[in-house]
Structure 1
Amino acid sequence: MSATDPPLDPRGVRFAAALSTVVLAVVLLTGSGWLLAAQAVVFALAAFAGPRFAPYPLLFRTLVAPRLSPPTEREDAAPVRFSQLVGFVFAVVGTVGYLTGLSVLGVVATAFALVAAFLNAAFGFCLGCEMYALLHRFRTHRNQQGATA
């Protein structure tokens, strides 16, 4: 993941989470592994190429952001990219479940991704970002421990 991503408008992040929430809810209602595969591609683009290349942030930047006042705050892209990576993993697991007949696996993986997307969209609480922060603190603490030994 690149450290060169520009800071993000948090409203765009929540917009993307809202669209993901809708798609994941439709997946749960229909059991469509192919729709979940498409969402996995969206997550992959945001995680691996960066948010500026993913479709949902692009929609926000072109259709929504011009109608809003400039953002009063920005957020680091690295935790958002990590959260998209987590979403990608759940979407891939769910897709495999749906497309191989392991529907319970598909439902559970999709439900986990849906909960995370909904929390971000509705409340601005990013589970993946929190996981990123915990891992970063753990790594920093571990490196400090190693330096003092």
Structure 2
Amino acid sequence: MTQSERPRFRPADLFGFPDPVNEVSARLVAAGVVAMVVTTVLTGWRWLPFVIAYGFVARVLTGPTASPLGQLVTRVITPRLPIAPRLVPGPPKRFAQGIGVAFSLTAVALTLAGAWTAAQVVLGLLAAAAFLEAALGLCLGCKAFAVLMRLGIVPDSVCERCNDLWGTDDPATSPA
């Protein structure tokens, strides 16, 4: 392979979010978030909110590419499961990760400010949402995304396949 035949790295290859997203992997990442938050609260390790926040920021910017948890799930765990992929639209999942950024960075700020109890409350709310995703497949961020689309705040062009996030069409063809 010559120099000109080698694939070149482009920043656009790093900064992007998968579309569609494998719902199985998304739920496993959510389970990982729950585990990290529970560990944080039970151990009092005040450095762990920084790791949690990094993971959310990395997943918003690059999908699983720069996220250690995302890499573990998509490259190691999901391929070994006897579960068929369930593809869903990426934009609502990215939006949900963005909400995770807001919560986790709030927990980091509270931790730095010495408000550890408040940080734990915020992390608890984050864990509750992640638990709903992991255990029940209920993505609160995706539902918020659907509301914003219905209100016209998020234009239809952002996600044409998301027009039926409420599940009013045929469930067999509904994207989420």
SS in 2 for 1:80: helix
Residue 138 of structure 1 is matched in structure 2 by 151
Please say if residues 31 and 98 of structure 1, whose CA atoms lie closer than 8 Å, have aligned partners that are also in contact.
no
Supply the AA of the counterpart residue of 1:23: M
SS at structure 1 position matched to 2:87: coil
Structure 2 unpaired stretches of 5+:
1-14, 157-176
Q: Distance in 1 between matches of 2:134 and 2:17?
A: 25
Structure 1's 30 and 98: CA in aligned 2 closer, same or farther, altered over 3 A? farther
Number of residue pairs matched?
A: 142
Q: 1:31 to 1:97 in 2, by over 3 A?
A: farther
- Identify if the C-alpha distance between structure 1 residues 75 and 97 changes in structure 2 by more than 3 Å, giving closer, same or farther: same
Aligned partners of 1:33 and 1:96 also within 8 Å: no
Letter in 1 for 2:126: A
* Pairing partner for 1:65 from 78, 85, 89: 78
Task: Quote the Cα distance in structure 1 between the aligned partners of 2:24 and 2:121.
Answer: 28
Letter in 2 for 1:104: T
Mean CA deviation greater in 86-95 or 96-105: 96-105
Instruction: Output the amino acid matched with 1:36.
Output: P
Q: Is 1:21 the equivalent of 2:34?
A: yes
Normalised to the residue count of structure 1, the TM-score between the two structures is: 0.83
Selected match of 1:82 from 82, 92, 95: 95
Structure 1, gaps ≥5 residues long? 144-149
Greater relative contact order (Cα < 8 A, sep 6+): 1
Q: Which residue matches 1:122?
A: 135
TM value normalised by structure 2: 0.72
Shift of 1:4: 6.6
1:97·1:106 contact (CA, 8 Å) conserved in 2? yes
- Quick check: which has more Rg, 1 or 2? 2
CA RMSD, 1 decimal = 2.3
Q: What does 1:38-49 correspond to in 2, within 5 Å?
A: 38-49=51-62
Moved over 4 A (4+): 140-143
* Identical pairs, percent: 29
Match of 2:108 among 95, 99, 107: 95
Q: Partner of 1:11 in structure 2?
A: 24
| CA distance in structure 2 between the partners assigned to 1:8 and 1:141 by the alignment | 19
TM-aligned CA deviation for residue 118 of structure 1: 0.7
Comparing 58-67 with 114-123, greater Cα deviation is found at: 58-67
